[in-house]
Chain A
């Protein structure tokens, strides 16, 4: 037991002390947005509050750990009416499920400055495995990670009840993100 604790303590210390976890999210330069289609009409939304826990060294992508939390009540849809609607039980149900989370399981290099992050996305109590292509661009001390992927809203029961009909609101929702990070090693 003692040995186990000691090993754990060393592992935890290593995880927190290493350069791999010095990455910080710069909220001002970051954005998480999504586009859904209502009867063919693209409707854009974004989240104002989110955080990322990133331990990433471009030299050792397979050791990376990337986590996300998105405050679902911080959604912005450009209209107060739709923002009130989306907080309801049929949609995000933000009272019961205030946050969406992502936790990476594996990170693979996929070309210069490109990575494939596989992990688990949890929204409204439902988890799905997703693979997210990420492109890194560096300028000075800042690294921008950007990418896009598609989720199926009904996998997470987003738009339940009367709203299940995908001819009204398409099942596919495009998620786009741009994350500004400091402390990422040179590519």
Chain B
């Protein structure tokens, strides 16, 4: 590491970043696995866990957005202008999808006639009325958006690794949980 960072993300931002990263990775994998399962208690359990995780991600993302809007992140490191633009664009798209993926999933669940009851105790309102045709139309959209989010996460991770191992510019340390 040639130049150590002088500026880090806030502890809250770092905690939300890694927590949500893990939660989204887990939900994505469960989502991929569960969709082809035959009807069984296992499938029912995974679907509900996936929904609870999705609502938790949605709520924490709202908190994260609020935090991001009220706390200035570290200034951009020196890099070509196109990379800066690409980084900002990717971050915007990621934030958009943090909301779009769970909201569309929630809408699908409501349309399919299964209201979301968070942790089995907190019933959420249906903002879409039960409607089979609508459910079938929404279902693939939830998947496409999740795949787009996964692709952007790969771009994000790839870029971070490039900064760490090729540019050696200390970018990753700004978001690393422990100060090295």
Within 8 A of A (CB), among B79-133: 112-117, 119-121, 123, 130, 132
B residues at A contact (CB < 8 Å): 39-41, 44-45, 48, 112-117, 119-121, 123, 130, 132
A160 beta carbon closer than 8 Å to chain B: no
Tell me whether A78 and B120 are in contact (CB under 8 A): no
Tell me whether B114 and A41 are in contact (CB under 8 A): yes
Partner of B113, one of A40, A78, A85, A168: A78
Known interface pairs A78-B113, A78-B130, A79-B113; A38-B39 also in contact (CB < 8 Å):
no
Distance (whole angstroms) from the CB of B30 to the closest CB of chain A: 15
B residues in contact with A40, CB < 8 Å: 117, 119-121, 123
Bound: A51/B121 CA distance, A: 37
Per the CB 8 Å criterion, the residue count for chain A at the interface is 17
Partner of B40, one of A43, A44, A162: A162
Bound: A165/B112 CA distance, A: 24
A residues in contact with B45, CB < 8 Å: 39, 168
Tell me whether B44 and A168 are in contact (CB under 8 A): yes
A residues at B contact (CB < 8 Å): 38-44, 78-79, 81-82, 85, 162-163, 165, 168-169
Tell me whether A82 and B39 are in contact (CB under 8 A): yes
Partner of A168, one of B41, B117, B132: B41
A residues in contact with B116, CB < 8 Å: 41
Tell me whether A85 and B39 are in contact (CB under 8 A): yes
Give me 10 other A-B pairs in contact (C-beta within 8 A), A40-B119, A168-B41, A168-B44 excluded. A38-B44, A40-B117, A40-B121, A41-B48, A41-B116, A42-B115, A44-B113, A82-B39, A162-B40, A165-B41
Total number of residue pairs linking A and B with CB closer than 8 Å:
38
| Smallest CB-CB A-B distances: 3 pairs | A40-B120, A40-B117, A39-B48
A residues in contact with B113, CB < 8 Å: 43-44, 78-79
B residues in contact with A85, CB < 8 Å: 39
Tell me whether A81 and B39 are in contact (CB under 8 A): yes
A residues in contact with B117, CB < 8 Å: 39-41
B residues in contact with A44, CB < 8 Å: 113
Known interface pairs A40-B121, A43-B114; A162-B39 also in contact (CB < 8 Å):
no
B residues in contact with A78, CB < 8 Å: 113, 130, 132
Tell me whether A162 and B120 are in contact (CB under 8 A): no
Which of chain A's residues has its CB closest to B109's CB?
A41
Tell me whether A39 and B44 are in contact (CB under 8 A): yes
Distance (whole angstroms) from the CB of B36 to the closest CB of chain A: 13
Which of chain A's residues has its CB closest to B113's CB?
A78
Distance (whole angstroms) from the CB of B130 to the closest CB of chain A: 7
5 CB < 8 A contacts A-B: A39-B120, A42-B115, A43-B114, A78-B132, A169-B44
Bound: A42/B117 CA distance, A: 9
Distance (whole angstroms) from the CB of B4 to the closest CB of chain A: 49
Tell me whether A41 and B41 are in contact (CB under 8 A): no
Distance (whole angstroms) from the CB of A77 to the closest CB of chain B: 9
